[in-house]
């Protein structure tokens, strides 16, 4: 037997028989359970005030969710920018450090050349008797 990963398996409700409805007969009329269920749902008809209150509550939840999403998005972008700035600052610090190191090497080389030239001139002056 082959198994395909894109197949959908549905095993139904436990105890449910294939082709049988729990709340309706074949002719469309309700069974005893269906009638009881309908009677239980009859009282759930909402008035206009209740519908308006429900809409208001749902819109409040939606608004709060939108605000929370905006705050989370802003926090994410702030953290991302902070990371980018930190990386930039790290690169700049590394560049400045390498420039300082290079300038120190150049200064040390210049001092060494100056000292060498001074020694050469001192030797020349010593030979000349000055």
Residues 35-91: tens digit of each pLDDT: 888 777 766 677 888 888 989 999 999 999 999 999 999 999 999 999 899 888 888
The number of C-alpha atoms within 13 Å of 78 and in the hemisphere containing its C-beta is: 6
pLDDT score of 20 more than 70: no
Structure-token pair, residue 66: 């939108």
Of 2-11, 16-25, 49-58, 111-120, which range is least confident? Answer: 2-11
Q: Is the dihedral of CA 5, 6, 7, 9 positive or negative?
A: positive
Q: Looking at residue 100, what is its pLDDT?
A: 87
The number of C-alpha atoms within 13 Å of 58 and in the hemisphere containing its C-beta is: 6
* pTM of the predicted structure, to 2 decimals: 0.37
Selected residue with higher pLDDT from 95 and 42: 95
Cross-strand partners of 30: 24
Q: Looking at residue 31, what is its pLDDT?
A: 87
Residue given tokens 């100056």 in the structure block: 114
Domain boundaries, the chain: 32-128
């Amino acid at each position: 037997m082959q198994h395909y990963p894109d197949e959908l398996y549905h095993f139904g409700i436990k105890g449910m028989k294939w082709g049988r409805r729990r709340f309706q007969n074949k002719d469309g009329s309700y069974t005893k359970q269906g009638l009881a269920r309908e009677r239980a749902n009859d009282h759930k008809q909402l008035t206009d005030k209740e519908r308006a209150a429900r809409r208001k509550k749902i819109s409040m939840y939606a608004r709060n969710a939108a605000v929370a999403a905006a705050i989370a998005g802003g926090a994410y972008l702030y953290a991302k920018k902070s990371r980018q700035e930190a990386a930039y600052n790290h690169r700049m610090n590394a560049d400045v450090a390498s420039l300082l190191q290079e300038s120190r090497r150049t200064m040390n080389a210049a001092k060494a050349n100056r000292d060498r030239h001074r020694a050469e001139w001192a030797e020349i002056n010593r030979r000349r008797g000055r």
